[in-house]
Structure 1
């Protein structure tokens, strides 16, 4: 007899349900949300040929930890699991969710999703931290502009040295404003130092990676874009075709078809927002700053002439995703011709 398990994971505890092939309840209970505790719980019962749980913050750690312990675990996209679990139980509870996931495991009515490696998640954490810090710096800059504009002063570009000098000059003789600006500028300097340290780490990591070094030969693709794309793809072989990367990143038009209705809208914007934004920025750089002859650029400009430049940038970003994936998969250099 074959046995299957479903795991409903939370930060502290994981509800576990074990069913046989016919759907008969064999065992259920709770364990601490760690690979060791879950593995011990499963080892105390019959050997399971399939273990299923949903994507979430704990998914990478649990997936790789359980896989290392020889447990045949699969991760399901949470949106797919949500729709399936609604039809299996009238009341939502952790216990019912675990039982529903076990039913999905025994029926095979699910599509497993790729769980990125921990090294890829580490790179994504670095890029996410940088974006958050840059956002905080922009927030502080806007706050400083808002404080001094009351006194009739419009500050220059935030990253120029004159920005701080002009702001502090306005605050001379105004005790409350001077104290406020000093505090904001102290926080701003700390954020700029942290961003500079992350930038140095990003460049160092990109230089050490042969894959990123190849990706950076594409005009418009820098260290951050190369690292973010490599971390998002993680394993190039999981995509059957390079053209599948565009839908994965939400760079293809959204479509709704039902009977006589066939609607094609704007891009779906599904997937990794950060990588999609970086590819769009890389496409814009290629179109506006790269002066050399390039077939990709000529193709995008022709697309913009027929439609709009915004659609040309989106189309070029989608084409860049295809090119970058092919370079990762085949370990080839970018062809300028």
Structure 2
């Protein structure tokens, strides 16, 4: 260990694979630790100046905070980028060596080490997202079961909330009693999930109203409490991006490239990065587009109408999401609030 400048750790619940390299990049240390207590003792005995590398996964944030509290440098690398550096079969040893190689790749940006408060906020979002997915799946299941008996319901929460009870109360509908009983149970669970979503949404809205940064982010059209708190929980450290375009590219809201030589070919949205936040940004953009008035004289609205005519609704939503992310990059690094008709200095800053 005395010769090690970098130590890579492949994390698990109770088994930890370690590998260390010297300043020349040669692996000079390997060890396998089989208890959390022994691993914590190992971390506590690390010499000063050692860099610890680990990949994203359960427990990475907690161990990283522990190391930072000890004054040890630590980097959390994206698991998908570490996998690109793996050689041979997937096992703990090869994973650890892949982390070492990925740590030497200067193009890989480390995942920020989050505070406990940010992780708690992230937990709210993940629980809410799980409820939304289950509720959507359950609504589609009820619609599918009814369609098997010749009863078609429209998509959307309102159609299910009105349509399913009406069908269950209509004795003329050709539904077996067994299916009526099942649909009644599914509807009850669907409504209960909706109530849980509303509770978590209320908590996020309360936090957004009391957080000064969230309030500034919500001055951007298409950014509400859900997006603002999700972005804050991610702790993206916007200063590490050279410009606003790189920030938007971090969330995958830029064209994918299929270029070679002098031929530059741009494709569809790359969809790299955080799928949850990207989805929220595009949903927020769609909400803005739905509220556009055809006779508006606002410069922003007229720009959006030109995008709609040229790109279609989905293309315009992606472009608006990209623009909003660029604006958010500026707001996260300053005390400004967004104004729809900014002064020339602010407009120039947001155009980069």
* Partner deviation per Cα, 1:70-111 (whole Å, 9 max, x = no partner): 22112223333333332xxx5553234334544665x67673
* Partner deviation per Cα, 1:250-270 (whole Å, 9 max, x = no partner): 011111222254321111110
Please state whether the residue corresponding to 2:31 is helix, strand or coil: strand
In the TM superposition, residue 67 of structure 1 has moved relative to its aligned partner by 1.4
- Partner in structure 2 of residue 59 of structure 1: 60
The answer to which of 173-182 and 209-218 deviates more is: 173-182
Q: Which runs of 5+ in 1 are unaligned?
A: none
Task: Quote the Cα distance in structure 1 between the aligned partners of 2:209 and 2:303.
Answer: 30
- Partner in structure 2 of residue 253 of structure 1: 255
**Quick one: structure 1 residues 51 and 297, their matched pair in 2 at CA, closer, same or farther if it must change by over 3 Å?**
same
Task: Quote the Cα distance in structure 2 between the aligned partners of 1:145 and 1:108.
Answer: 50
| 1:131-142 matches, cutoff 5 A | 131-142=129-140
Task: Quote the Cα distance in structure 1 between the aligned partners of 2:26 and 2:75.
Answer: 21
- Partner in structure 2 of residue 215 of structure 1: 217
* Partner deviation per Cα, 1:167-222 (whole Å, 9 max, x = no partner): 32146894312321222122123212211211211211111111111222223322
- Partner in structure 2 of residue 335 of structure 1: 339
The answer to which of 206-215 and 153-162 deviates more is: 153-162
| 1:107-186 matches, cutoff 5 A | 111-117=108-114, 118-155=116-153, 158-159=157-158, 162-170=162-170, 174-186=176-188
Number of positions where the alignment pairs a residue of Structure 1 with one of Structure 2: 332
The answer to which of 71-80 and 266-275 deviates more is: 71-80
- Partner in structure 1 of residue 289 of structure 2: 287
In the TM superposition, residue 48 of structure 1 has moved relative to its aligned partner by 5.1
Please state whether the residue corresponding to 2:265 is helix, strand or coil: strand
**Quick one: structure 1 residues 261 and 167, their matched pair in 2 at CA, closer, same or farther if it must change by over 3 Å?**
same
**Quick one: structure 1 residues 286 and 240, their matched pair in 2 at CA, closer, same or farther if it must change by over 3 Å?**
same
The answer to which of 133-142 and 151-160 deviates more is: 151-160
- TM-score between the two structures when normalised by the length of structure 2: 0.81
**Quick one: structure 1 residues 127 and 295, their matched pair in 2 at CA, closer, same or farther if it must change by over 3 Å?**
farther
Task: Quote the Cα distance in structure 2 between the aligned partners of 1:307 and 1:158.
Answer: 29
Structure 2 residue 95 is the aligned partner of structure 1 residue 93: no
CA contact (8 A) 1:206 1:213 kept: yes
- Partner in structure 1 of residue 19 of structure 2: 17
Task: Quote the Cα distance in structure 1 between the aligned partners of 2:219 and 2:27.
Answer: 56
Task: Quote the Cα distance in structure 2 between the aligned partners of 1:13 and 1:159.
Answer: 49
- Partner in structure 1 of residue 79 of structure 2: 78
| 1:259-274 matches, cutoff 5 A | 259-274=261-276
Please state whether the residue corresponding to 2:258 is helix, strand or coil: strand
CA contact (8 A) 2:112 2:235 kept: no
Q: Which runs of 5+ in 2 are unaligned?
A: 342-352
The answer to which of 175-184 and 22-31 deviates more is: 22-31
In the TM superposition, residue 2 of structure 1 has moved relative to its aligned partner by 5.0
**Quick one: structure 1 residues 216 and 32, their matched pair in 2 at CA, closer, same or farther if it must change by over 3 Å?**
farther
The answer to which of 19-28 and 120-129 deviates more is: 19-28
Task: Quote the Cα distance in structure 2 between the aligned partners of 1:277 and 1:182.
Answer: 32
In angstroms, what is the RMSD of aligned CA positions?
3.0
Task: Quote the Cα distance in structure 1 between the aligned partners of 2:147 and 2:97.
Answer: 60
- TM-score between the two structures when normalised by the length of structure 1: 0.85
**Quick one: structure 1 residues 91 and 145, their matched pair in 2 at CA, closer, same or farther if it must change by over 3 Å?**
closer
Please state whether the residue corresponding to 2:84 is helix, strand or coil: helix
CA contact (8 A) 2:19 2:96 kept: yes
In the TM superposition, residue 334 of structure 1 has moved relative to its aligned partner by 1.5
The answer to which of 316-325 and 71-80 deviates more is: 71-80
CA contact (8 A) 2:245 2:326 kept: yes
* Partner deviation per Cα, 1:41-70 (whole Å, 9 max, x = no partner): 145465552222222233222222221222
* Partner deviation per Cα, 1:96-143 (whole Å, 9 max, x = no partner): 4334544665x6767341325143333233223222212222222232
